[in-house]
Amino acid sequence: MSNIYDVSESNLNLAAETLKSGGLVAFPTETVYGLGANVYLSDAVAKIFAAKERPKFDPLISHIADIDFLPEYALTDERIMALGKKFWPGPLTIVMRRKDNNPAIDLACSGLENIAVRMPAHPVALELIRKSGIPIVAPSANRFKSISPTTAHHVRDSLGDKVDMILDGGQCSVGVESTIIDLTGKQAVMLRAGGTTLEALEDFLNEKVLISHGNPNLPSAPGQLLKHYAPGKPLRINATERKDGEFYIGFGKISDSDINLSPNADLEEAASRLFAYLRFADRQENYSGICMSPIPETGLGLAINDRIRRAAYKE
């Protein structure tokens, strides 16, 4: 029997019970599918690392459904609350200080003094968090370093039976992970480009947001690893034409591409299709490589370029 479940009241209840009792539930968010566990049960959190084959130094994002809960859970300030009120629910993760009286979440935070929190903009995710009554920690529901999942079947392909339930909420609308902003210091720092644009954050904060490129060997975000989100076939980016044997993923007005992320050069559309198209290209048996058109470095283009540069990185 498949572990993919339709979204229904009874399946949501079952998923909430599964989480509460220490199981793993994959669920849709607006960005990508998450592999969820109860933040307070370290055994359950450890199962996430095992299922993803992810190194333990990696801290996880806590997903919440109500901003009023945030001050109970972490150390907040005016800037954090203002940002949450403006951008949540939505594809923005805020890194803030932990409260020191909460050792139960040590594993989820990898022992760091900071915690990453977001409120996803997906009715299934929000309902699941509410029904469970706990913050749900969830990385993307794929094996470490591979392509992030934007459908329930991607999760199934990547993790198989290592997850107790996969809630099928259809295709993710944003398609790239959340933007991560670190607000623990005086100056805001973007740790990962994602579904919320740098322009929107700077506009609202009325300050320059620094961009962290991190230390790729000791990343504070795994997205900072040089090789990440990678298909099996070699990927060549900024390609204006195909070479022999390449499957061509176009963007904008390209006549000879095999598929096109957005013929009208719409970056939101391109982001929402990115991971599914990379998977599709990777499955094409008659091609030995993949190439992709240049993508502009504005708006969601920052997140797209970040992902494909890492996917194209040669070790």
The residues of the shown chain that bind ligand TXA, judged by CB under 6 A, are: 29, 31-32, 34, 58-61, 91, 93, 95, 109, 112, 114-116, 120, 138-140, 177-178, 180, 191, 220-223
Q: Binding of Mg ion at residue 158 (CB under 5 A)?
A: no
Judge contact between 303 and 195, C-beta under 8 A: yes
For ligand TXA, the closer of residues 254 and 300 by Cβ is: 300
Rounded CA-CA distance 56/40 in Å is 17
What's the rounded Cα separation, in Å, for the pair 201 and 299?
11
Residue 115: name its binding partner from Mg ion, ligand TXA, none (Cβ under 5 to 8 Å by kind). Answer: ligand TXA
- Per the DSSP assignment, residues forming a β-bridge with 25 are 36, 165
- 136-137/34-38 β-pairing: antiparallel
29 binds Mg ion (CB under 5 A): no
The partner residues of 4 in beta bridges, in order of sequence, read 166
Query: Which of Mg ion, ligand TXA, none interacts with 220 (beta carbon under 5 to 8 A by kind)?
Result: ligand TXA
Residues 137-156 that bind Mg ion (CB under 5 A): 140
- Give me the least distance between CB of 217 and ligand TXA, in Å please: 14
Q: Which of 73, 76, 57 is nearest to 65 (CA)?
A: 73
- Is the Cβ of residue 18 or residue 293 nearer to ligand TXA in the bound state? 18
* Residue with token string 């740098």: 198
**Pairing relation of β-strands 4-6 and 25-27?**
unpaired
Shortest spacing between CB 144 and Mg ion, in angstroms: 8
Q: Is 179 in the site for Mg ion (CB under 5 A)?
A: no
SS3 of residue 267 by DSSP = helix
Dihedral angle of Cα 101, 27, 42, 183, to the nearest 10 degrees: -40
* Shortest Cβ 33–ligand TXA spacing (Å): 7
Identify which of residues 146 and 260 has a Cβ nearer to Mg ion in the complex. 146
Task: Work out how close the CB of 10 gets to ligand TXA at its nearest, in angstroms, rounded to a whole number.
Answer: 24
**CA distance linking residue 133 with residue 172, whole number of Å:** 24
Instruction: Give residue number: closest CB to Mg ion.
Output: 140
Strands (E), 64-108: 74-75, 92-98
Least Å from the CB of residue 308 to Mg ion = 15
- Report whether 31 contacts 169 (CB < 8 A): no
Alpha-carbon gap, residue 149 to 152, rounded angstroms: 7
Residue 93 binds Mg ion, judged by CB under 5 A: no
Amino acid symbol at 47:
K
Residue 109 binding partner per list Mg ion, ligand TXA, none, with a CB distance cut-off of 5 to 8 Å that depends on partner kind: ligand TXA
Examine residue 62 and tell whether it contacts Mg ion (CB under 5 A). Answer: no
If 0-12 CB within 10 Å is exposed, 13-18 middle and 19+ buried, where does residue 1 land?
Answer: exposed
Please say which residue, 214 or 296, places its beta carbon nearer to ligand TXA.
Answer: 214
Q: Of Mg ion, ligand TXA, none, which one does residue 29 interact with (CB within 5 to 8 Å by kind)?
A: ligand TXA
Minimum CB–partner distance for residue 156 and ligand TXA (Å): 16
Q: Which two tokens stand for residue 214?
A: 């991190």
Q: How many residues bind Mg ion (CB under 5 A)?
A: 1
Q: What's the min distance (Å) between Cβ of 139 and Mg ion?
A: 5
Distance CA(267)–CA(273), nearest Å, equals 10
60 binds, among ligand TXA, Mg ion, none (CB under 5 to 8 A by kind): ligand TXA
Q: How far is the CB of 196 from ligand TXA (least distance, A)?
A: 10
Q: Which residues bind Mg ion (CB under 5 A)?
A: 140
